[in-house]
Amino acid sequence: MKKVIKTANEVSEQIIQWGESHEIDTCFDRAQRLKPCPIGASGACCKICHMGPCRFVGRNAEKEAKGVCGATLPTVASRNLLRMAVGGAAAHSDHARDMAFILLAVANGEAKDFKITDARKLYRVAEILGIEFGSGRSAKDVARDVALKFLEDFGRQKGEINYVKRAPKKTQERWKKWGIVPRGIDREITEAMHRTHMGVDHDPDNLLLGTLKVSLADGWGGSMISTDITDILFGTPRPVKAEASFGIFKEDEVNIVVHGHEPSLAEMIVDVVSEPEMIAYAKSKGAKRINLGGMCCTANEVLMRHGIPTAGGFTNQELAVMTGLIDVLTVDIQCIMPALVGLSRKFHTKVITTSYKAKIPGAIHIQYDEHRAKEIAREIVKIAIDNYPNRKAEGSHVSQKYPLIAGFSHEYIEYMQGGSWRASFRPLNDAIMAGRIRGVVGLAGCDNPRVPSQGIHRFLAIELIKADILIVTTGCGSHACGGAGYMTPEMALENAGPGLREVCEAIGIPPILHVGACVDNSRILTIATAMAEEGGLSDEIGGMPAVGIAPEWMSEKAIAIGCYFAASGVPVIFGGESPVGASEEVTRIMTEVWFERFKGALHFEPDPEKILALTLNYIDRAREALKLRKYEPGRFGIERVLMDMAARRELERAAKPHLGIY
Ligand code: BF8
């Protein structure tokens, strides 16, 4: 029988093989066994009422197939896509709502374990929201107003969400023209559920505009709110060295994994594991120390701010348990495989759920409450320590790990291009104009066991930087790159094209910039806006030599992200078969019609080579439309000289010695 390649990650592969020899089943095996239903997979199944499910198959199904109610295939496919985007927008936004409640509790003095870490970011956000700060107002008072203002974004019935005004004017005008400015996050989610109910909206174009609207409520609403509050509470990221892969786990230490998405409990656990009493307790059980590692987007949150090492992304979660070294795996919400609990029973690992919204039968449940966050964090860490002596010998103990640099917030990217007092996006725009950097790609989204996992991420990362394309990456895209050792400055020397290499060398950055978790795709919107406002390229997000790619997507959140980028003016390419591929009409609207209206698009393309070709084509066409210098490797136009870090620090010391970084 032909051997199926399950992952492109060599370290994961070792663990998978160990699992196979011990008859341990993982998502990779289940993906092989469970072939997707081709009708549902292409969007040709309607199951929103109990006259069906209706299948839209047969020759000329696009025009002739009808459901019991008379619905057509394009109606059904677009309705299915809208429901996916709703799920994604709801997930990100509910996460954001909880962050807003934590900020409010901190402002009211009710969540005493947290504080406002980045007051400067708080004031920047207050300024955008039109909230008064300075003149004797305490940070807590400002934070209270910010939290309440954000909470209004969820329940607003009319008007527009606050952060719409952060987008370039021209981008906003397009949204207004096509009626997709989100009013309130919850309102858009509810309305989308209503219009996809049986017998309501049947116009594919209108349903797809609804998809863009609810997705904008995620990108410029929930996700952006979440990013900003997280920065205010826990600090705006700046570069930090860390490590990735399964070798981060230690045989002689208590190993705890924080997995999921909301960062507040994980932040508390970061604090608690270095408390002297906790370390002493761990030593009393025979462990040298307490070692914390991250998984999925929680990993990205604590990696970006504290350099906590990451075990990897979505398809790595079961493999972490299979190392046999995890004493506690604590999870909250989203992207958590329920298989973890059954798997953990084969080892000594305890799985702890912490959100009433996300329970798994068989797991220990400890309800998280931000009002007693540290106490709960201590309870979890103690369970891990008590479990350490139960560790058995079995498990796939691997030692490989890779260095990486993370922490590239929008603020730091601005700072690195000019220092505290000359911070701007000018050098990046100049480098693009001169052809030194050909364009920018956001490499994001999940990793997926239906393809050799992380492989398409890796392929595209290498090919794109070779082609002088700067990559910003988030979520599991960043795990795929980090777990391959791609996120170091040396990577630029070895693999980047000549123009990108020079820029990376001058600034001292990797060619692949880790900008955060999945909600931090909102940072990419902010970066694109800053580039538009800097001038010299497009005066809106649309038309930039920029593309978004989610080559191994699997979640509804990815659909919402893809759609908010498309609506914002970014052509987006997803890997895998299209979830609406059964309908030519829907496919045409998402590509040609959206491009005409918004300069963005959503493609689905399973072939990695074609994803690459389409990306380069979009970037080169955008350069041409902007009348930029034709990209030729190694040949650049004139641009402003980039100062290296040492020169910049010198200049800053001389000019404003009191200023901190960023
Ligand atoms: O979209 S949310 S853990 S799987 S990266 Fe990864 Fe984060 Fe999940 Fe998918 Ni995004």
Asked if 327 and 350 count as a contact pair (C-beta separation under 8 A), the reply is yes
Residue 53, preceding peptide bond in cis (omega within 30° of 0)? yes
Q: Write the pLDDT tens digit of every residue in 122-151.
A: 999 999 999 999 888 999 999 999 999 999
Q: Around Cβ 253, how many Cβ atoms within 10 Å?
A: 17
What CATH code would you report for 246-390? 3.40.50.2030
Is 548 in a helix, a strand, or coil?
Answer: strand
Beta bridge partners of 256: 292, 328
pTM: 0.95
What are the C-alpha distances in Å from 241 to residues 38, 304, 406, 510? 44, 9, 7, 12
- Cα angle: 553, vertex 246, 342; to 5 degrees: 70
- Residue recorded with tokens 């492989």: 455
Atom of ligand 1 nearest to the CA of 313: 6
- Our answer on whether the CB atom of 222 is closer than 6 Å to any ligand 1 atom is no
Residue to substitute in 331, 518, 574 for testing ligand 1 pocket (most ligand atoms within 8 angstroms of CB): 518
- Our answer on whether the CB atom of 337 is closer than 6 Å to any ligand 1 atom is no
- Our answer on whether the CB atom of 557 is closer than 6 Å to any ligand 1 atom is yes
Q: At 238, which amino acid appears?
A: R
**Mean pLDDT in the chain?**
94
Asked if 8 and 448 count as a contact pair (C-beta separation under 8 A), the reply is no
Specify the residue with its C-alpha closest to ligand 1, atom 8: 335
Atom of ligand 1 nearest to the CA of 475: 5
What is d(CA 242, CA 540) in angstroms, rounded to the nearest whole number? 35
pLDDT of residue 637: 79
Residue to substitute in 94, 333, 334 for testing ligand 1 pocket (most ligand atoms within 8 angstroms of CB): 334
Q: CA dihedral defined by 324, 326, 327, 331, rounded to 10 degrees?
A: -130
Q: At 51, which amino acid appears?
A: M
pLDDT of residue 647: 61
- CA 334 to ligand 1 centroid distance, Å: 8
pLDDT of residue 507: 86
Specify the residue with its C-alpha closest to ligand 1, atom 3: 296
- Our answer on whether the CB atom of 558 is closer than 6 Å to any ligand 1 atom is yes
- CA 117 to ligand 1 centroid distance, Å: 26
Residue to substitute in 297, 310, 336 for testing ligand 1 pocket (most ligand atoms within 8 angstroms of CB): 297
- Our answer on whether the CB atom of 555 is closer than 6 Å to any ligand 1 atom is yes
Specify the residue with its C-alpha closest to ligand 1, atom 4: 446
- CA 208 to ligand 1 centroid distance, Å: 23
Q: What is the DSSP letter of 362?
A: T
- CA 400 to ligand 1 centroid distance, Å: 23
Domains 73-234 and 422-625 share a fold: no
- Residue recorded with tokens 């979505």: 314
Specify the residue with its C-alpha closest to ligand 1, atom 9: 446
- Our answer on whether the CB atom of 296 is closer than 6 Å to any ligand 1 atom is yes
Asked if 209 and 563 count as a contact pair (C-beta separation under 8 A), the reply is no
Q: CA dihedral defined by 50, 51, 53, 54, rounded to 10 degrees?
A: -160
- CA 465 to ligand 1 centroid distance, Å: 23
- CA 447 to ligand 1 centroid distance, Å: 8
- Our answer on whether the CB atom of 297 is closer than 6 Å to any ligand 1 atom is yes
Atom of ligand 1 nearest to the CA of 444: 5
Atom of ligand 1 nearest to the CA of 557: 1
Count how many residues are written for the chain.
Answer: 662
Crossing angle of the two packed helices 264-272 and 224-234, in degrees rounded to 10? 20
pLDDT of residue 134: 85
User: Which run of H or of E encompasses 224?
Assistant: helix 224-234
Is 343 in a helix, a strand, or coil?
Answer: helix
SS (HEC) of 241-265: EEEECHHHCCCCCEEEEEECCCCHH
The backbone torsions φ and ψ at residue 351, rounded to the nearest 5 degrees and listed phi first, read -100, 125
Residue to substitute in 476, 520, 559 for testing ligand 1 pocket (most ligand atoms within 8 angstroms of CB): 476
Domain ranges, ordered by start, for the chain: 10-62, 73-234, 246-390, 422-625
- CA 93 to ligand 1 centroid distance, Å: 14
- Our answer on whether the CB atom of 479 is closer than 6 Å to any ligand 1 atom is no
Q: Give the residue from 411, 408, 402, 431 showing the smallest Cα distance to 490.
A: 402
- Per run of 10 residues, the mean pLDDT along the chain (length 662 residues) is 81 95 95 95 97 95 97 98 98 98 98 97 97 93 98 97 98 98 98 98 98 98 98 98 97 97 97 98 98 98 98 98 98 98 96 98 97 97 98 89 96 86 86 96 96 96 97 97 94 91 91 97 97 96 98 98 98 98 98 98 98 98 96 81 59 46 31
- CA 261 to ligand 1 centroid distance, Å: 9
**Number of helical (H) and strand (E) elements in the chain, helices listed first:** 29, 16
- Our answer on whether the CB atom of 269 is closer than 6 Å to any ligand 1 atom is no
| Assigned CATH class of 422-625 | alpha beta
User: Which run of H or of E encompasses 654?
Assistant: helix 645-655
- CA 109 to ligand 1 centroid distance, Å: 32
- CA 424 to ligand 1 centroid distance, Å: 30
Residue to substitute in 555, 559, 561, 564 for testing ligand 1 pocket (most ligand atoms within 8 angstroms of CB): 555
- CA 26 to ligand 1 centroid distance, Å: 18
Q: At 579, which amino acid appears?
A: P
- Our answer on whether the CB atom of 518 is closer than 6 Å to any ligand 1 atom is yes
What is d(CA 124, CA 364) in angstroms, rounded to the nearest whole number? 41
- CA 312 to ligand 1 centroid distance, Å: 11
Pairing of strands 254-259, 290-295: parallel
> With respect to CATH, is domain 73-234 assigned 2.60.40.150?
no
Atom of ligand 1 nearest to the CA of 558: 1
pLDDT of residue 53: 97
Six-digit token pair at 535?
Answer: 């001038």
Q: Write the pLDDT tens digit of every residue in 503-514.
A: 999 888 999 999
pLDDT of residue 332: 97
Q: Give the residue from 337, 372, 334, 339 showing the smallest Cα distance to 355.
A: 334
- Our answer on whether the CB atom of 571 is closer than 6 Å to any ligand 1 atom is no
- CA 475 to ligand 1 centroid distance, Å: 5
Residue spans of alpha helices (H) in 248-344: 264-272, 276-284, 296-306, 317-322, 339-344
Q: At 568, which amino acid appears?
A: S
- CA 446 to ligand 1 centroid distance, Å: 5
- Our answer on whether the CB atom of 331 is closer than 6 Å to any ligand 1 atom is no
Specify the residue with its C-alpha closest to ligand 1, atom 2: 518
- Residue recorded with tokens 């505009």: 209
Beta bridge partners of 352: 330, 364
pLDDT of residue 10: 93
Q: At 368, which amino acid appears?
A: Y
Long-range contacts of 647-655 (CB under 8 A, 24+ apart): 648/418, 648/419, 649/419, 651/419, 652/419, 652/420, 652/421, 655/421
- CA 72 to ligand 1 centroid distance, Å: 32
- CA 315 to ligand 1 centroid distance, Å: 10
Six-digit token pair at 136?
Answer: 């004797």
- CA 300 to ligand 1 centroid distance, Å: 10
Asked if 371 and 105 count as a contact pair (C-beta separation under 8 A), the reply is yes
Atom of ligand 1 nearest to the CA of 447: 4
Residue 613: which residues within 8 A CB-CB, separation 6 or more?
none
